[in-house]
Copies of this chain bind each other. A is one copy, B any other.
Amino acid sequence: MRYTAGIDIGGTAIKLGIFEEGGKLIAKSSIPTDKSHNGDHIFDNIKEALYKLVESEGVDIKQLGGAGIGVPGSVVKGGIVNGCVNLGWGEINVKARFEDILGMEVRVINDANAAAYGEVLYGAAKGYNSAFMVTVGTGIGGGLVIKDRIVEGVFGAAAELGHICINPDESVECTCGKRGCLEQYCSATGIMRMAKERYKDRFFDAKELFDAGKSGDMDALSVIDEAARALALGLSYMAAAADPDVFIIGGGLSAAGDVFLDPIKKYYREFVF
């Protein structure tokens, strides 16, 4: 029997999975992301966790045909990461480094692209010709798949809508140094920034804000409405470029459900051509 490893390197945790041919998950584990020393321990930590995981399943590491690794940053030329601020990485040939320490074929792609591709193969976009996935969490990322192919872009930055400028008059600076980025209005961070500006410490975090909105709290709903409007505007731009069959909204905030999704749909219909 041959297996494949899937590894998702996040800013907080690294998730590992072992898959049978055909895509069935047979084992998984998670380790914290050690970002010290510019994220240099990540490589050995993953090797250790992967060996432990295959061992626990009675699988020989040599039965692993390869590993697919998702990283939270731009990937170019088949495996070179162009700086992952969330991991401390600068420019690293992640593919070469992992192939060296793991001794198997490795493919490295952007995490949102991996998520989009997964949704097309096995998830919410199964059977569709094209899909645009948006991940709404601490930040906003995206992945675009057209006819079974991930659109990566010349700088590995395709479908990266988090820092499009939707408000050139914004006075607050984004983490990226620019002003008026989409993330500033509809990521978890952006939503809490708006909530704090208006209602100080009334809402502890985005989950509490969305829960209040579900209970009909008008203050919470006004913030959610503005966030939804911003995201819908961003999606309408992505639709103008790629005209995908479906959008998929993932990431932590997608758990909010209809209280967030309904106004996104409403504004999207207004904005889109």
Contact = CB atoms under 8 A, between A and B. Distances in A.
Contacts of A132: 241
Contacts of A216: none
Contacts of A124: none
B164 A245 contact: no
Contact of A157 (B144, B161, B162, B240): B240
Interface of A: 129-130, 132, 144, 146-147, 149, 151-165, 168, 176, 178, 233, 236-245, 271, 273
Nearest to A161: B240
A162 to B, nearest CB: 8
Given A146-B151, A157-B273, A176-B273, A240 B164 contact: yes
A164 B234 CA distance: 10
A153 B244 contact: yes
A160 B243 contact: yes
26 contacts: A129-B154, A130-B154, A144-B241, A144-B242, A146-B151, A151-B242, A153-B243, A154-B245, A156-B243, A157-B243, A157-B273, A158-B241, A159-B240, A159-B243, A160-B273, A161-B240, A161-B241, A163-B240, A163-B273, A168-B233, A178-B273, A237-B240, A237-B241, A238-B240, A238-B241, A241-B241
Contacts of A271: 164-165, 168
A153 B244 CA distance: 6
Nearest to A160: B240
A195 B156 CA distance: 39
A240 B160 CA distance: 5
A164 B129 contact: no
A158 B151 CA distance: 14
Nearest to A246: B154
A243 B146 CA distance: 14
Nearest to A245: B154
Contacts of A244: 153-154
Contacts of A237: 164, 237-238, 240-241
A155 B240 CA distance: 10
Contacts of A243: 151-160
Contacts of A155: 243
Contacts of A160: 240, 243, 273
Nearest to A273: B163
A228 to B, nearest CB: 14
